[in-house]
Amino acid sequence: QDRVVILGAGQAGAQLAQSLRASGHEGEILLVGDEPWLPYQRPPLSKKFLAGEMEAEGLELRPAAFYETQRIGLRLSTPVEAVDCREKRVYPKAGEPISYDRLVFATGTRPRSIPLPGADLPGVVTLRGIADVDAMRPLFKQSSRIAVVGGGYIGLEVAAVARSFGVEVTVLEAQDRVMKRVVSPAVSAYFENLHGENGVDLRLGAGVAAFEGASQVEGVRLADGTVVPCGMVLVAVGAAPNDELAAKAGIEVSDGILVDGGGRTSDENVHAAGDCTRFHSARYGRSIRLESVQNAIDQAKAVASDMAGKPVDYDPVPWFWSDQYATKLQIAGLSQDYDEAVTVGDPASGSFYVAYLAAGRLIAVDSINHPRSHMLARRSIGEAWRADLLPAA
Ligand code: FAD
């Protein structure tokens, strides 16, 4: 008997179940998740799905029949409260414990909250799942003005969708530029202009002090005393890994479940994959925690391979995308430690890319409406930089 229980029925969990079966695993595979839906993709939640250009069924990664034919058991609407690694059992909030031979954590992340006065007022929302969009839609329709706390991908994508509905949007970013954590000043400036041109009131260096309102949020009070009136506030200030269950079960975590290149945790019967993990990247010379579809899929495949007795050393070139208005940002690699940024093409033309170098090697590329440079970058990261490595403009 080799019963694999996968905790978390999201992008990584579904991929793992599928890859494990494809690798020849004969034993039982059970996907346990707390949401009521079949495993689904999240990127459209802040893009086409929020805009109403896509139905919920379109989000599903696979139809129900797929799980049946692949003999992948699904336990949805099943929040798990505890894991006992010695007894090899997981404990759902309701019902009988579920025993496993091998367990995989694929629990993802959750939005960070900000502990400010009024943060629990109705109308102050976060965005992670379908339920959050369902809760946001009526507020979108009722409010003529919304505020977004956080100028990262999710905040800016929601701002763009709201503008397409004619909603007035104020984006409050504590840093001096948007997406500061992930892109260079040139790319931030491009997106700041883009949002400005589309009528977003973008406030940089804005400290949020409180959310105001009687029975429903009516405004955001800033540190300087200004009040931004609004009928909804999206708090989009990053995500925290769901690693507490693993930590309580005695598995090593440190802002993410610590895994090796095969997704192995500190417990020999437990792997982990996706947003909830942290691993050492020899490529980048440090430990990293990635929040992307690419990582969820590729790391899940690596874990399936490791579990099938074919160890791999997962150390990817990460990639990511964001859609804002008609602009597509594609990111290959991680640019954090760059010492030189080369802009190729004219940002004013709306199509350009920025190559990030460290000690003369290409470590990352941000492509703005420039898919060719992105595709080539995914193959060229790590190489010594030459002007002809990527397209001319
Ligand atoms: P998830 O897909 O989050 O799945 C984890 C599942 O585990 C969830 O269903 C969760 O509810 C469940 N779970 C957690 N704890 C428990 C428990 N105790 N019991 C039972 N179930 C539990 N990535 C990109 O690459 N490009 C994008 O454009 C992009 N846009 C995004 C937009 C939004 C709005 C969001 C929220 C994310 C976006 N991402 C994007 C990130 C991408 O969706 C994630 O990286 C990916 O979903 C990670 O997969 P995962 O399986 O690790 O986690």
45 lines ligand 1 (CB under 6 A): yes
Q: How far is the CA of 273 from the centre of ligand 1 (A)?
A: 11
- Please tell me the predicted confidence (pLDDT) of residue 200: 98
292 lines ligand 1 (CB under 6 A): yes
36-54 CB burial, b ≥16 within 10 A, e <16? ebbbbbbbbbbbbbbbeee
- Please tell me the predicted confidence (pLDDT) of residue 296: 98
Please identify, by atom number, the ligand 1 atom nearest to the C-alpha of residue 275.
52
- Please tell me the predicted confidence (pLDDT) of residue 388: 87
- Please tell me the predicted confidence (pLDDT) of residue 125: 97
- Please tell me the predicted confidence (pLDDT) of residue 393: 75
- Please tell me the predicted confidence (pLDDT) of residue 140: 84
Please give the single-letter amino acid code of residue 327. Answer: T
107 lines ligand 1 (CB under 6 A): yes
Q: How far is the CA of 349 from the centre of ligand 1 (A)?
A: 34
Which CA distances in Å does 170 have to 81, 219, 282, 322?
Answer: 38, 11, 40, 19
**How many residues in total does the chain contain?**
393
Give the C-alpha separation, 353 to 329, whole Å.
9
Q: Whose CA is nearest to atom 15 of ligand 1?
A: 107
pLDDT in tens, 198-219: 999 999 999 999 999 999 999 9
pLDDT tens series, the chain, 393 aa: 699 999 999 999 999 999 999 999 999 999 999 999 999 999 999 999 999 999 999 999 999 999 999 999 999 999 999 999 999 999 999 999 999 999 999 999 999 999 999 999 999 999 999 999 999 998 988 889 999 999 999 999 999 999 999 999 999 999 999 999 999 999 999 999 999 999 999 999 999 999 999 999 999 999 999 999 999 999 999 999 999 999 999 999 999 999 999 999 999 999 999 999 999 999 999 999 999 999 999 999 999 999 999 999 999 999 999 999 999 999 999 999 899 999 999 999 999 999 999 999 999 999 999 999 999 999 999 999 998 888 887
Q: Whose CA is nearest to atom 39 of ligand 1?
A: 43
Q: In the chain, how many H helices and how many E strands?
A: 8, 26
Q: Whose CA is nearest to atom 45 of ligand 1?
A: 292
35 lines ligand 1 (CB under 6 A): yes
The preferred substitution site among 107, 257, 322, 378 for testing ligand 1, maximizing ligand atoms within 8 Å of CB, is 107
- Please tell me the predicted confidence (pLDDT) of residue 391: 85
Q: How far is the CA of 294 from the centre of ligand 1 (A)?
A: 12
Which CA distances in Å does 41 have to 9, 18, 47, 80, 286?
Answer: 11, 15, 12, 21, 28
Give the C-alpha separation, 54 to 60, whole Å.
11
Give the C-alpha separation, 66 to 60, whole Å.
11
